């Protein structure tokens, strides 16, 4: 999924607890297929979940809502990881409830010795209760928060758990986490598996509207990370057009299955890029009891696209597995390049960044007890994993380079070109960073700064064009709102070398205005946010095709060169109205086509429409300063859409497709999503 848009400012607050009750460990041999009530370990209850849901699922908006689905799917994936499940189906029902079905062993239903009730009820009603806490039942398990399906139960108005196991169909239903009755047998079956249907509690969640694209993207990702598993999603709320221009076709659905795993993932990510090497290097091994999978390929682009996962979790902040990969890749490639004599004429050093320019790679490791760190708890801290990944990439890459000398030479030539360009980029970057932005000296001439000096209370509007910029300057609150007009369309960074990017006047001005610096000795692309002057950076463009294109160009720049700003929640998109409806003294702004139609319908009751005046705002400049403030800039009235990254890999794929040279996939994407946009061609 591409950077998502969320209207709620949020910070994910997570704590993963690990209080294993040693007395409850099952007396099973390693590798045993037994899975019963004895394997279910109880850690703590559900009391705090409904009171402070954000502590357990991240937030109570779109991200938290979809996290409920991920928790249920993670249970099914855990069954697949130990070889007992190969089919997982997700259905968004017509009433906006969700059903997840798998063909695993089924949650145990026999009596739990300590709790003296069905193990199914324990799993569904006790936080941190489940087989994944018993290493004999699951070697590794997915899921970041580790709260399990009981958290989903606690945050649902209703939940229905149906288990097919031992020839019987068992059922238990719940309201807001509490069982309505004991587990009971409702029939016979020749299948095994679990079916969970839940209805999120709308008294807790800001939105309960599930997004098909977000869920489909996660299933696609899981299919590549867990080859051999069939995953499907169906949306019963929406029928696809059947060719007659109406929505009476089949329900919208997608199926995902990967035979080769990560190599197919890399193919997908690089679908819109020109390959530099024909073969994808695929590694599947185990080092120091850590299963490691890696797939990588070089292309002609100028960006590094490396995505790392631990137990199916996208570690967006990296960690020890990514560090091990980079170390092994750099050392192995540098050793080969030196032995080949291709570096003999180089007049300056080659850095680790140079070996990763134009590299697309996916790293996936399985860790029994992952330790997560970082701002969003998605940075792996296990030290033993670094050596495992380093060894895996070093041995296999060295073998590949010896076996494929033509590809090896092509890669080294790309590295040399990258080093040369980086040397030029450093000079351009130093020109950007030479001025003392903290003191305000050397700020861009077009920047109308604000009086507030505290970044937490300051906003910067990046506005399309001088005309709209002038209106915004007149309409703003000068105390905390800064305005910087951008001239035309900024450089498409997806297709530009780094030194060209830093030489671009508009991009140079954005860096200087924000007060950030880029590049360290270790990582030339690392962003330093210490001097950041605004904690809200708001893209404000016209509501037409050109405005949407400019927004995409700016977002591409931030995603490729200022990802940290997005991760910290600092990037937003303004939403100016599309229409102003007038009738007599009545005035109303409308932000959607549906809102316009409804307003006109209400105003024309008992009469005609010749007295209703509809003004379509295609450009920000069509509004006066007072209107722009009232609708788009006033914190009391405005709606800001926060840019988030649900999946870095999906964002990478979509940006390369939207901003690349390959037209057909871009046209298909726009046609598919046109109904979600409100822009005039």
Domains of the chain: 10-16+36-241+248-256 (3.30.565.10), 262-426 (3.30.230.10), 439-577+623-676 (3.40.50.670), 579-616 (no CATH)
pLDDT digits (tens, 9 = 90+) for 91-137: 999 999 999 999 999 999 988 888 888 899 988 988 766 555 455 55
- Taking residues 309-316, what's their average pLDDT? 90
For 364, how many CA atoms within 13 A lie in the half-sphere containing its CB? Answer: 25
Q: Which two tokens stand for residue 563?
A: 């990802």
> By CB neighbour count within 10 A (0-12 exposed, 13-18 middle, 19+ buried), where does 625 fall?
middle
Q: How confident is the model at residue 601 (pLDDT cuts 50, 70, 90)?
A: confident
Could you count the other beta carbons within 10 Å of the beta carbon of residue 43? 18
Structure letter (DSSP) for residue 675: G
pLDDT at 550: 87
Mean of per-residue pLDDT scores for the chain: 82
Q: Which two tokens stand for residue 456?
A: 């937490």
Catalytic choice (213, 546, 595, 630): 546
What is the pTM assigned to this prediction?
A: 0.71
Answer for the pair 144, 313: CB distance below 8 angstroms, yes or no: yes
- Given a cut of 60, whether residue 2 has pLDDT beyond it is no
Q: How confident is the model at residue 584 (pLDDT cuts 50, 70, 90)?
A: confident
Answer for the pair 645, 262: CB distance below 8 angstroms, yes or no: no
Catalytic choice (74, 270, 464, 494): 464
Distance, CA of 678 to CA of 379 (rounded, Å): 38
> By CB neighbour count within 10 A (0-12 exposed, 13-18 middle, 19+ buried), where does 122 fall?
buried
Distance, CA of 136 to CA of 32 (rounded, Å): 7
Which stretches does DSSP call E strand in 381-426? none
Q: Which of 340, 319, 328, 344 is nearest to 296 (CA)?
A: 328
pLDDT at 634: 94
Helix residue ranges, H only, 476-520: 498-503, 505-514
Among the ranges given (61-65, 86-90, 584-588, 601-605), the one the predictor scored with the smallest mean pLDDT: 601-605
Q: Could you confirm whether 546 is annotated as catalytic?
A: yes
Catalytic choice (542, 622, 650, 652): 542
- Given a cut of 70, whether residue 243 has pLDDT beyond it is no
Sequence-ordered list of residues with C-beta below 8 angstroms from that of 344, at least 6 positions apart, any chain: none
Among the ranges given (16-20, 491-495, 580-584), the one the predictor scored with the smallest mean pLDDT: 16-20
Give the containing element (helix H, strand E) for 659: helix 648-659
- Given a cut of 80, whether residue 6 has pLDDT beyond it is no
Q: In what order do the strands lie in the sheet with 640-645?
A: 3-6, 640-645, 571-574, 536-540, 459-464, 481-486
Bridge partners, residue 411, by sequence: none
pLDDT at 429: 61
pLDDT at 323: 94
Among the ranges given (228-232, 364-368, 614-618), the one the predictor scored with the smallest mean pLDDT: 614-618
Instruction: Please tell me which residue, 264 or 54, carries the higher pLDDT value.
Output: 264
Bridge partners, residue 291, by sequence: 286
Give the containing element (helix H, strand E) for 161: strand 156-165
Answer for the pair 468, 619: CB distance below 8 angstroms, yes or no: yes
3-state secondary structure of 243: coil
Answer for the pair 487, 466: CB distance below 8 angstroms, yes or no: yes
3-state secondary structure of 217: helix
Q: Which of 477, 482, 508 is nearest to 493 (CA)?
A: 508
Give the containing element (helix H, strand E) for 314: strand 313-314
Catalytic choice (173, 373, 544, 630): 544
- Taking residues 540-560, what's their average pLDDT? 85
- Given a cut of 50, whether residue 5 has pLDDT beyond it is no
3-state secondary structure of 156: strand
Q: Could you confirm whether 190 is annotated as catalytic?
A: no
pLDDT at 45: 56
pLDDT at 307: 93
Q: Which two tokens stand for residue 548?
A: 């949407």
pLDDT at 181: 94
Q: What share of the chain is helix, strand, coil (3-state, %, to 5)?
A: 35, 25, 40
Q: How confident is the model at residue 609 (pLDDT cuts 50, 70, 90)?
A: low
Q: Could you confirm whether 544 is annotated as catalytic?
A: yes
Among the ranges given (277-286, 529-538, 591-600, 602-611), the one the predictor scored with the smallest mean pLDDT: 602-611
Structure letter (DSSP) for residue 343: T
Percent of the chain with pLDDT over 90: 40
Answer for the pair 459, 538: CB distance below 8 angstroms, yes or no: yes
Q: How many residues does the chain have?
A: 681
Distance, CA of 307 to CA of 304 (rounded, Å): 10
Sequence-ordered list of residues with C-beta below 8 angstroms from that of 373, at least 6 positions apart, any chain: 317, 319, 379, 380, 381
Tokens 């790309």 found at: 414
349 phi and psi, to 5 degrees? -70, 150
pLDDT at 244: 55
Q: Could you confirm whether 464 is annotated as catalytic?
A: yes
What are the DSSP calls for 553-615, one per residue? HHHHHHHHH-HHHHHTT-EEEE---SEEEEETTEEEEESSHHHHHHHHHHHTTTS-STT-EEE
Answer for the pair 224, 258: CB distance below 8 angstroms, yes or no: yes
3-state secondary structure of 357: coil
For 491, how many CA atoms within 13 A lie in the half-sphere containing its CB? Answer: 20
Sequence-ordered list of residues with C-beta below 8 angstroms from that of 457, at least 6 positions apart, any chain: 480, 535
Answer for the pair 59, 8: CB distance below 8 angstroms, yes or no: yes
- Taking residues 643-671, what's their average pLDDT? 70
Inter-CA distances, 585 with 581, 588, 611, 625, Å = 11, 10, 11, 20
pLDDT at 278: 83
β-pairing, 111-112 with 117-118?
A: antiparallel
Instruction: Please tell me which residue, 439 or 660, carries the higher pLDDT value.
Output: 660
Handedness of CA 107, 111, 112, 115 (dihedral sign): positive
Answer for the pair 175, 87: CB distance below 8 angstroms, yes or no: no
């Amino acid at each position: 999924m591409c950077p998502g848009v969320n209207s709620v400012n949020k910070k994910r607050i997570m704590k993963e607890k690990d209080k294993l009750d040693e007395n409850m460990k099952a007396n099973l041999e390693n590798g045993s297929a037994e899975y019963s009530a004895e394997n279910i370990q109880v850690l703590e209850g559900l009391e705090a979940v409904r009171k402070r849901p954000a502590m357990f699922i991240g937030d109570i908006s779109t991200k938290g809502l979809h996290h409920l689905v991920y928790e249920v799917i993670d249970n099914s994936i855990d069954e697949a990881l130990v070889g007992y499940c190969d089919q997982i189906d997700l259905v968004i029902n017509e009433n906006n409830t969700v059903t997840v079905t798998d063909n695993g062993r089924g949650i145990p239903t026999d009596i739990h010795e300590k709790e003296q009730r069905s193990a199914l009820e324990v799993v569904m009603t006790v936080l941190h209760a489940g087989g994944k806490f018993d290493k004999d039942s699951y070697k590794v398990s997915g899921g970041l928060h580790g709260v399990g399906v009981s958290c989903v139960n606690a945050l649902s108005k209703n939940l229905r758990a149906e288990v097919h196991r031992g020839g019987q169909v068992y059922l238990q239903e719940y309201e807001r986490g509490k069982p309505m009755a004991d587990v009971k047998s409702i029939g016979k079956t020749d299948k095994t598996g679990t079916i969970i249907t839940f209805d999120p509690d709308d008294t807790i969640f800001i939105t309960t509207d599930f997004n098909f694209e977000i869920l489909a993207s996660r299933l696609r990702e899981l299919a590549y990370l867990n080859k051999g598993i069939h995953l499907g999603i169906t949306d019963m709320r929406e029928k696809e057009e059947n060719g007659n221009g109406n929505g009476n076709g089949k329900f919208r659905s997608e199926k995902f299955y990967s035979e080769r795993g990560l190599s197919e993932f890399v193919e997908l990510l690089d679908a819109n890029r020109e390959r530099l090497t024909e073969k994808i290097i695929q590694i599947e091994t185990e080092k120091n009891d850590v299963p490691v999978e890696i797939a990588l390929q070089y292309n002609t682009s100028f960006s590094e696209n490396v995505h790392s996962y631990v137990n199916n979790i996208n570690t967006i902040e990296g960690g020890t597995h990514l560090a091990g990969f980079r170390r092994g890749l750099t050392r192995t490639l540098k050793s080969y390049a030196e032995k080949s004599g291709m570096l003999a004429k180089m007049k300056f050093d080659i850095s680790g960044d140079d070996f990763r320019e134009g590299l697309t790679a996916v790293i996936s490791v399985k860790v029994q007890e992952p330790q997560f760190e970082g701002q969003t708890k998605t940075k792996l801290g296990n030290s033993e994993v670094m050596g495992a990944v380093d060894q895996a990439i070093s041995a296999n890459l060295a073998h590949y380079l010896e076996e494929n000398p033509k590809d090896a030479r092509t890669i080294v030539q790309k590295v040399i070109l990258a080093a040369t360009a980086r040397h030029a980029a450093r000079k351009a970057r130093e020109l950007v960073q030479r001025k003392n932005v903290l003191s305000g000296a050397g700020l861009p001439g077009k920047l109308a700064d604000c009086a507030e000096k505290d970044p937490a209370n300051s906003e910067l509007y990046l506005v399309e064009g001088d005309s709209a910029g002038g209106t915004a300057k007149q309409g703003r609150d000068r105390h905390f709102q800064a305005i910087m007009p951008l001239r035309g369309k900024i450089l498409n960074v997806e297709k530009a070398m780094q030194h060209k990017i830093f030489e671009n006047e508009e991009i140079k001005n954005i860096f200087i205005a924000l007060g950030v610096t880029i590049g360290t000795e270790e990582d030339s692309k690392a962003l330093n946010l210490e001097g950041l002057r605004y904690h809200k950076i708001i893209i404000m463009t016209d509501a037409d095709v050109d405005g949407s294109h400019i927004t995409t160009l700016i977002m591409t720049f931030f995603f490729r060169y200022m990802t940290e700003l997005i991760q910290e929640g600092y990037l937003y998109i303004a939403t100016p109205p599309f229409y102003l409806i007038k009738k007599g003294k009545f005035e109303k702004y409308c932000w959607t086509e549906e809102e316009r139609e409804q307003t006109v319908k209400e105003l024309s009751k008992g009469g005609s429409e010749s007295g209703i005046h509809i003004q379509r705002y295609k450009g920000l400049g069509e509004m006066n300063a007072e209107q722009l403030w009232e609708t788009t800039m006033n914190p009391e009235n405005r709606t800001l859409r926060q840019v988030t990254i649900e999946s870095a890999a999906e964002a990478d794929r979509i940006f390369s497709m939207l901003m690349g040279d390959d037209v057909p996939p871009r046209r298909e994407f726009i046609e598919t999503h046109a109904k979600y946009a409100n822009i005039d061609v």
